[in-house]
Amino acid sequence: MNVRHVSIIAAKELRDVLRDRRTLIFMLLLPIVVMPLIMIGMSKLMMSQHRAKEERELTIAATPAAQTMITALASQWQSDNAWAIRALMARIGFESAAGLKDMARLSAKAQDLRRKSEKQAGTDAATLASWKALRDLGEPERDLLRDMDSVSHLVALTNWVDLDAVRGTDRLPPGVTIPADLPPRLAASRVAGAITSKEKAVHAAVDVVDDYDLLLEQASLSVPITVLYDASQSLSKEAYDRLDAFVEALGRAQVRVRLDEHQLKTGFVKPFELKAANLASDSREIQAVIGGFLPYLIILFCFFGAFYPSLDLTAGEKERFTLETLLLAPVSRLEIAAGKFVVVFLAAVTAAVLTTASMAMTFTHGILPQGTAEAFNLEFQPLALVLAASLIVPVAALFSAMLLGVALFARSFKEAQSYAAPLQFLIIAPAVASLMPDLETEIKWAWVPLMNVSLLMKELLKGNYLWEFYTITLVSMLVLTAVVVWLSSLMFRRESVLMRT
Amino acid sequence: MSSSVAVEARDLSKVYKGPKGTTTLAADGVSFSAHGGEVFGLLGPNGAGKTTTLRMLSTVLTPTGGTALIAGHDVVREPDAVRASIGFLSGNTGLYPRLTPREVLRYFGRMYGMSDPALDQRIGHLAGLLGMTEFLGKRCDALSSGMKQKVNIARTVLHDPPVLILDEPTLGLDVLTSRTIVDLVKDCRAQGKCVIFSTHIMGEVSRLCDRLAIVHKGKVQFSGTLAELRGRAGDDLEQAFISVLESVP
């Protein structure tokens, strides 16, 4: 093979490809612009949806007696914890809460501040002091802040309706069954109908036994509070979660009161306590998530990068009648194949590198919305990056050879698209391995092409150097790539393929 | 006329394999020879096997039987040397739409092993000769079909090959561009090159061809001078051509 011929062909093909808008879109625009925009947009949308759900007033149906009980218990909780709340507010530099609605406002303010990074908290000394105090809260204080949020949230953001006045359709949607052991007031199908209907007039229904105060006083049995909800609907689930958190908060407060009454310590009701000592920092955990996400994107964009140039330089040439012109030049068909391969390979590598770079920029340079950027304090080791990059080489070569071979067989660009597009699924299936959190990197997977690269990149980005896995992966990928390159070169030498127009 | 044989087709055959084991005999023992300083016409109706024969001469297709010598090189054993010795033009030799004519010519010139200064000089010469100077820097997709064909002609003769193979080079062109091409063919003949010229236009045959072969049903049905062909039908070239075709059972 004459290297000069190959370089002449490659230089021309590169010039040609760089003037093709479709290639530029897939090689440059998609990884550099579109992907970060999609990620930022998705992240913003998810956060705003989450915030909207948290701040939404929900409709809960309950008998007037149950409503009174919930309000009374909330007020009781507030008065039981008044001193502790005042101390907590003073500690984090907030004004004291005057009522439950005020508590809801303050807990929302505290949550908002906790989501921010130190830099984002601002330069105001008081706010910064609040931010630091919130960061340094002890476990009992954090519990109190959470309970304050749970209790005040339910009271402030619930639109109570009378259970007996709820009107819903008796015809329940498919998949809805009324549980057998419901209290009679909740068992009416009109209540289930109102919760599960499209209109979502009621998000949940609550029933409390009439003699709850007696049960509470006797302290021998728990007070049954039944919540009827539809877990398949996000807002109905949110209503349940709020009631659950509310009941948890009340329970904790009640236990404290009872222990005090009997002069008992916490250990009496909580004989064991599991203390979690997590070795992974937030950054390491997030690094693991990104480590799973990046290999998938790199493999996918490597494919996209090779896709259009490979089709353009083969089937596109047939369509434009330039392939025959090229075949008339005094160069061998293998040299033509090699020249085209070099350019498609470069496009694939470029797309993969640009994807990685643009993702890194998106994460590390605070492009993501508030609160998320600070956490991505990523520290990928140089050796890990070099080893991960070395895996891109056989992947890009494999895709380039595979796509060139397939597209060369086609008569036209359109026909080539219909042959090459299904290959995406062949790529996605093994590449998605890195996204599966429970899939362990066992040595047997090192023999599965692309899946091995996907899993190994994930481990490398986490800082785990699996040398045996790496060796098998590299060797098996190189062998497979060599076979595909050889098959593809055979296609370039087959007259029936080249002249198939 | 030079006596040196520039192109010699020896029993060239081409069988195409179709689906389910079917075969098509596109060329069946085609033999002829053409010399330097001669325009050799290859005539025949559509589907006669002309394009297949020309593609075998240019090494784009490999013969399934026989061979050919081009400027002393065997098309089967020395395809690279054959390609370096020919300039080939047909309706299937397109230009790169995203490149300019200058870039296209430089690309092919480099593959022919020409040095950059020699290449630029040659491109300048051909641009003047074919009237391409104005559009040498425009992208090929912005050119008219006449302009494109001029660039194609320039690509064909760029490396000054001893043999030119032109398959219907004036097809679909206006009178002026056709005239340019005809003049170029005459020039090449005068320079001692061998030109294999395939066409359906009898006027071009009578104006250009020194000798010719008529191919029909994959075989050479007539080979000789224009005068010999004319002699078959009282000086009417078209009638003579038809009479050759009709004589084939």
Q: Which two tokens stand for residue A276?
A: 């979690």
Report the C-alpha gap between A367 and A348 in whole angstroms: 26
Confidence at residue A402, expressed as pLDDT on a 0 to 100 scale: 93
Contact B80 A332 (CB under 8 A): yes
CA-CA distances (angstroms) from residue B247 to A189, A383, B44, B73, B235? 95, 80, 13, 35, 18
DSSP SS3 for A437? coil
Q: B71 versus A116: which is more confidently predicted?
A: B71
Give residue A376's pLDDT band: very low, low, confident or very high (50, 70, 90). low
Report the C-alpha gap between A362 and A35 in whole angstroms: 9
Provide the 10 A C-beta neighbour count for residue B99.
Answer: 20
DSSP SS3 for A227? strand
* Residue A309 shares a structural domain with residue A328: yes
Angle at CA of residue A130, ends A129 and A133, nearest 5°: 85
* Residue A207 shares a structural domain with residue A325: no
Give residue B2's pLDDT band: very low, low, confident or very high (50, 70, 90). very low
Q: Which two tokens stand for residue A12?
A: 């021309």
Q: Which of A36-50, A207-221, A268-282, B36-50 has the highest mean pLDDT?
A: B36-50
Least confident of A24-33, A303-312, B51-60: A24-33
Q: Which two tokens stand for residue A47?
A: 């956060």
- Counting every residue written for chain A, the total comes to 501
What's the rounded mean pLDDT across residues A370-380? 56
Provide the 10 A C-beta neighbour count for residue A42.
Answer: 10
Residue A129 lies in a domain: yes
Residue A274 lies in a domain: no
Q: Which residue is it, tokens 């093709």?
A: A20
Q: B145 versus B105: which is more confidently predicted?
A: B105
Helix (H) or strand (E) holding A228: strand A225-229
Q: Which two tokens stand for residue B124?
A: 């300048």
Report the C-alpha gap between A496 and B18 in whole angstroms: 10
Decide which of A268, A296, A314 is a domain's last residue: A268
Q: List the one residue out of B151, B143, B150 whose CA is nearest residue B103.
A: B151
Confidence at residue A369, expressed as pLDDT on a 0 to 100 scale: 52
Q: Is the pLDDT of residue B107 over 90?
A: yes
Contact A328 B58 (CB under 8 A): yes
Range of the domain at A314: 3-43+281-498
Query: Which member of A19, A328, A329 has the closest CB to residue B98?
Result: A19
Q: Is the pLDDT of residue B173 over 60?
A: yes
* Residue A226 shares a structural domain with residue A84: yes
* Residue A59 shares a structural domain with residue A24: no
Question: CB neighbours of A357 closer than 8 A, spacing ≥ 6?
Answer: none
A274 touches chain B (CB under 8 A): no
* Residue A21 shares a structural domain with residue A67: no
* Residue A71 shares a structural domain with residue A171: yes
DSSP letter assigned to residue B168 = S
Confidence at residue B1, expressed as pLDDT on a 0 to 100 scale: 43
Contact A330 B91 (CB under 8 A): no
Nearest CA distance, B61 vs chain A (angstrom): 7
Contact B99 A16 (CB under 8 A): yes
**A324: chain B residues, CB-CB within 8 Å:** 60, 90, 92-94
User: What is the share, in percent, of chain B residues with pLDDT greater than 90?
Assistant: 56
Q: List the one residue out of A501, A447, A455, A450 whose CA is nearest residue A475.
A: A447
Contact B60 A331 (CB under 8 A): no
Q: Which residue is it, tokens 């609160």?
A: A371
Residue A275 lies in a domain: no
Report the C-alpha gap between A326 and B108 in whole angstroms: 8
Domains of chain B listed by start with CATH number? 5-89+163-246 (3.40.50.300)
* Residue A381 shares a structural domain with residue A287: yes
* Residue A216 shares a structural domain with residue A291: no
Amino acid at A486: W
Confidence at residue B73, expressed as pLDDT on a 0 to 100 scale: 93
Q: Is the pLDDT of residue B128 over 80?
A: yes
Decide which of A241, A268, A295 is a domain's last residue: A268
Partners of residue B89 on adjacent β-strands: B166
Q: List the one residue out of A388, A396, A356, A392 whose CA is nearest residue A456.
A: A388
Confidence at residue A370, expressed as pLDDT on a 0 to 100 scale: 53
Contact B98 A5 (CB under 8 A): no
* Residue A65 shares a structural domain with residue A13: no
Partners of residue A208 on adjacent β-strands: A225
Report the C-alpha gap between A348 and A337 in whole angstroms: 16
Q: Give the pLDDT confidence of A39-53 residue by residue, as tens digits.
A: 778 877 887 888 888
Residue A276 lies in a domain: no
Report the C-alpha gap between B164 and B87 in whole angstroms: 5
Q: Give the pLDDT confidence of A147-186 residue by residue, as tens digits.
A: 999 998 898 889 999 988 888 777 788 888 888 888 888 8
Q: Is the pLDDT of residue B19 over 70?
A: yes
DSSP code per residue over A261-272: HTT--GGGT---
Decide which of A268, A296, A330 is a domain's last residue: A268
User: Closest-CA residue in chain B for A7?
Assistant: B111
Query: Phi and psi of B87, rounded to 5°?
Result: -120, 125
Mean pLDDT of chain A: 85
B111 touches chain A (CB under 8 A): yes
CB A499 within 8 A of CB B58: no
Report the C-alpha gap between A71 and A497 in whole angstroms: 80
Report the C-alpha gap between B131 and A97 in whole angstroms: 90
Chain B 30-69, CB below 8 Å of chain A: which residues? 58-62
Q: Is the pLDDT of residue A239 over 90?
A: yes
**A339: chain B residues, CB-CB within 8 Å:** none
Q: Which residue is it, tokens 């039987």?
A: B65
Query: Which member of A5, A324, A330 has the closest CB to residue B92?
Result: A324
Question: CB neighbours of A382 closer than 8 A, spacing ≥ 6?
Answer: none
Q: Is the pLDDT of residue B144 over 50?
A: yes
Q: Which two tokens stand for residue A327?
A: 């075949």
Report the C-alpha gap between A472 and A480 in whole angstroms: 12
Residue A198 lies in a domain: yes
Query: Phi and psi of B65, rounded to 5°?
Result: -155, 150
- CB-based burial, A468-501: b 16+ in 10 Å, e otherwise: ebbebbbebbeebbeebbeebbebbeeeeebbee
Residue A460 lies in a domain: yes
Amino acid at B206: S
Q: Give the ipTM.
A: 0.91
Report the C-alpha gap between A120 and A488 in whole angstroms: 54
* Residue A388 shares a structural domain with residue A244: no
CB B34 within 8 A of CB B40: yes
| A151 Rama class: left (phi>0) / alpha (psi -120 to 50) / beta | alpha
Residue A436 lies in a domain: yes
* Residue A382 shares a structural domain with residue A494: yes
Provide the 10 A C-beta neighbour count for residue A175.
Answer: 8
Residue A328 lies in a domain: yes
Q: Is the pLDDT of residue B49 over 50?
A: yes
Work out the burial of residue A243: count CB atoms within 10 Å of its CB; fewer than 13 is exposed, 13-18 middle, 19 or more buried.
buried
Helix axes B116-130, B101-111, angle to 10 degrees: 130
Q: List the one residue out of A312, A286, A309, A263 whose CA is nearest residue A413.
A: A312
Query: Which member of A324, A331, A332 has the closest CB to residue B93?
Result: A324
DSSP letter assigned to residue B135 = G
Contact B93 A12 (CB under 8 A): no
* Residue A32 shares a structural domain with residue A179: no
Q: List the one residue out of B41, B32, B50, B43 whose CA is nearest residue B207.
A: B41
Nearest CA distance, B95 vs chain A (angstrom): 6
Report the C-alpha gap between A251 and B173 in whole angstroms: 93
Q: Give the pLDDT confidence of A330-371 residue by residue, as tens digits.
A: 998 889 999 999 999 999 999 888 887 887 777 666 555 555
A327 touches chain B (CB under 8 A): yes
- CB-based burial, A304-330: b 16+ in 10 Å, e otherwise: bbbbbbbbbbbbbbbbbebbbbbbbbb
Edge-first strand listing for the sheet containing B38-43: B86-89, B163-167, B194-198, B38-43, B211-216, B219-225
Number of domains in chain A: 2
Report the C-alpha gap between A40 and A249 in whole angstroms: 36
Distance of CA B123 to the CA centre of its chain: 21
Nearest CA distance, A20 vs chain B (angstrom): 8
Q: Is the pLDDT of residue A279 over 60?
A: yes
Contact B97 A320 (CB under 8 A): yes
CB A344 within 8 A of CB A309: yes
- Counting every residue written for chain B, the total comes to 249
Nearest CA distance, B55 vs chain A (angstrom): 9
What's the rounded mean pLDDT across residues A109-132? 79
Confidence at residue A60, expressed as pLDDT on a 0 to 100 scale: 94
Q: Give the pLDDT confidence of A283-320 residue by residue, as tens digits.
A: 677 667 777 788 888 898 899 889 999 999 999 998 88
Ranges of H-type helices in chain B: 50-57, 79-85, 101-111, 116-130, 145-157, 175-190, 202-208, 226-230, 237-246
Query: Which member of A321, A327, A329 has the closest CB to residue B108?
Result: A329
